[in-house]
Each structure stands twice: as structure tokens, then as C-alpha cells.
């Protein structure tokens, strides 16, 4: 596993009841990728942050911000490609 650069970040915007959110977080754990999970139902600031990153639209969770790349839904292929491009996995 590659070392994670300190300037790269992964944020998962989610809700407690979302099965795809849980699956994505388990997948990131399996890959050894550090991330911050933000609950958009419990944390109004997290929802505001998500809306700002998504251009004011909300189409559900999970939404993942991988060092500035926004991925809507649990899109394993895009997540893998982006993590590799950002040198977060090899």
C-alpha cells in the first residue's frame, strides 16, 4: 500500500440509514484509505458544504469528495480510478 500524501483528503457525505454509504465506507476501510464521514442529516454545516460542492443540487448519498473530485453514489470504478490518480492507492 502506498503512503498517503498529507494534502490529499477523502470526505464521504452520508446518512446513517444509507446502505450504499455503509458499503462504501467498508470498501474504503478495506482499501486502507483514510476518510472523514460527514452525516448530512445530523450536521447542517455538512449539508451546506455538500450543496456548495455539488453546485446547489442534492441527489442523494453517498457523495464522495476525493481531493476535489466529486463522485455521486457508490461508483466503485470511479472511486478506484480517482484514488489511483490521486496516489491514495496503488
Of all residues in the chain, the percent with pLDDT exceeding 70 is 91
Cα–Cα distance, 59 to 6 (Å, whole number): 30
pLDDT (mean) for 27-44: 96
| Domain containing residue 59 | 10-85
Residue 18, in any domain of the structure: yes
Residue 3, in any domain of the structure: no
Which of 26, 32, 41, 48 has its CA nearest to residue 90?
A: 32
pLDDT (mean) for 23-49: 96
Residue 75, in any domain of the structure: yes
Residue 2, in any domain of the structure: no
Return the pLDDT at 58.
82
**Domain CATH for 67:** 3.40.30.10
Return the pLDDT at 57.
83
Task: Count Cβ atoms below 10 Å from residue 82 Cβ, excluding itself.
Answer: 21
- Which pLDDT tens digit goes with each residue over 46-73? 999 999 998 888 889 999 999 999 999 9
Domain count, the chain: 1
Which residue would you say has higher pLDDT here, 7 or 41? Answer: 41
Residue 55, in any domain of the structure: yes
Amino acid at each position: 500500500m502506498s503512503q498517503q500524501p498529507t494534502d490529499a483528503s477523502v470526505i464521504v457525505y452520508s446518512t446513517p440509514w444509507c446502505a450504499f454509504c455503509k458499503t462504501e465506507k467498508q470498501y474504503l476501510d478495506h482499501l486502507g484509505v483514510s476518510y472523514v464521514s460527514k452525516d448530512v442529516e445530523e450536521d447542517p454545516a455538512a449539508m451546506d458544504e455538500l450543496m456548495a460542492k455539488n453546485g446547489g443540487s442534492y441527489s442523494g448519498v453517498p457523495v464522495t469528495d476525493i481531493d476535489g473530485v466529486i463522485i455521486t453514489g457508490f461508483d466503485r470504478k470511479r472511486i478506484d480510478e480517482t484514488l489511483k490518480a490521486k496516489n491514495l492507492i496503488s
